[in-house]
């Protein structure tokens, strides 16, 4: 091997090592994370959903630093405004004309308020449901335009469009000056940029602690068991009212809310602002 060839080989090895040092796996796709980005790859389950671990390792709540432009913290919220042993119920991927009304009925049965994390085009297609959610006293959350679980690996401009375009559609569907108060990244794949964009627009990044795994339709009993097993992780529970047949979710939500009531666990909303 000539001196020139050796030099070329060493250069290629150095480049490969540098790339490997910043490689991360996001939903089964290996991508390169820019240097200095504190995003870490989410954990997986059978439904390709994340367990709720924040990208920056911060649990949110007390001590959060607010965005200078909005006063809303950029770190990921998990704690409940109600404090104590209160639980936050969050509902993703709707609104859906079949399942959202059933979820609303179950919540009303137990006088529980929830956060609905909506897909922008779904909200535009079903403004009546968005208005029902708001009228019942629930809060709105931006879950992007396309639920692209790989958006963490895409340009900042793409992330911004996914977040802000969805916020606009959801608020237009809600009408009456209703505001989207939270942002949840698809699959929980937050980035520092997406959190910054959301907070600057007045939306608190919202994680979860309890993954019901209802998206994979494991059966009502399994969903309820998942909640009971993971309640020690923290107060925010993830359910879905969109993305397919959610009859197991509706049945499990009914059982979970009854169990929480029997346990003396109140419900509340996730912390949105800095103390």
Catalytic residue numbers read 92, 240
With a CB cutoff of 8 Å and minimum separation 6, the contacts of 127 are 172, 173, 174, 175
> What's the start-to-end Cα distance of the chain, in Å?
65
Q: Are 52 and 213 in contact (CB under 8 A)?
A: no
Is the four-CA dihedral 224, 229, 235, 237 of positive or negative sign? negative
Side-chain half-sphere exposure of 32, counting CA atoms within 13 A: 9
CA distances, 267 to each of 79, 94, 133, 191, 270 (Å): 11, 21, 17, 28, 10
DSSP 58: -
């Amino acid at each position: 091997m000539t001196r020139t060839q050796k030099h070329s080989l060493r250069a290629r090895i150095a480049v490969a090592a540098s790339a490997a040092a910043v490689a991360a796996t996001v939903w089964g796709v290996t991508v390169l994370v820019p240097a200095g980005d504190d995003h870490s790859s989410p954990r997986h389950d059978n439904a390709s959903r994340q367990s709720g671990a924040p990208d920056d390792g911060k649990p949110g709540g007390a001590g959060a630093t607010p965005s200078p432009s909005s006063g809303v913290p950029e770190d990921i919220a998990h704690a409940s405004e109600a404090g104590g042993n209160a639980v936050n119920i969050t509902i993703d991927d709707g609104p859906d004309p079949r399942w959202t009304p059933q979820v609303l009925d179950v919540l009303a049965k137990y006088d529980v308020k929830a956060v609905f994390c909506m897909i922008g085009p779904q909200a535009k297609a079903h403004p009546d449901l968005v208005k029902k959610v708001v009228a019942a006293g629930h809060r709105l959350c931006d879950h992007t335009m396309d639920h692209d679980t790989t958006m963490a690996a895409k340009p900042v401009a793409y992330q911004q469009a996914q977040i802000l375009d969805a916020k606009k559609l959801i608020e237009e569907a809600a009408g009456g000056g209703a505001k989207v108060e939270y942002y949840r990244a698809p699959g929980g794949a937050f980035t520092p940029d997406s959190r910054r964009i959301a907070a600057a627009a007045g939306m608190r990044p919202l994680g979860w602690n309890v993954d019901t795994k209802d998206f994979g339709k494991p059966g009502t009993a399994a969903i309820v068991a998942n909640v009971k097993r993971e309640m020690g992780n923290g107060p925010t529970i993830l359910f879905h009212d969109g993305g397919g047949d959610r009859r197991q979710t509706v049945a499990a939500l009914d059982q979970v809310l009854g169990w929480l009531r029997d346990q003396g666990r109140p419900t509340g909303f996730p912390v949105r602002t800095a103390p």
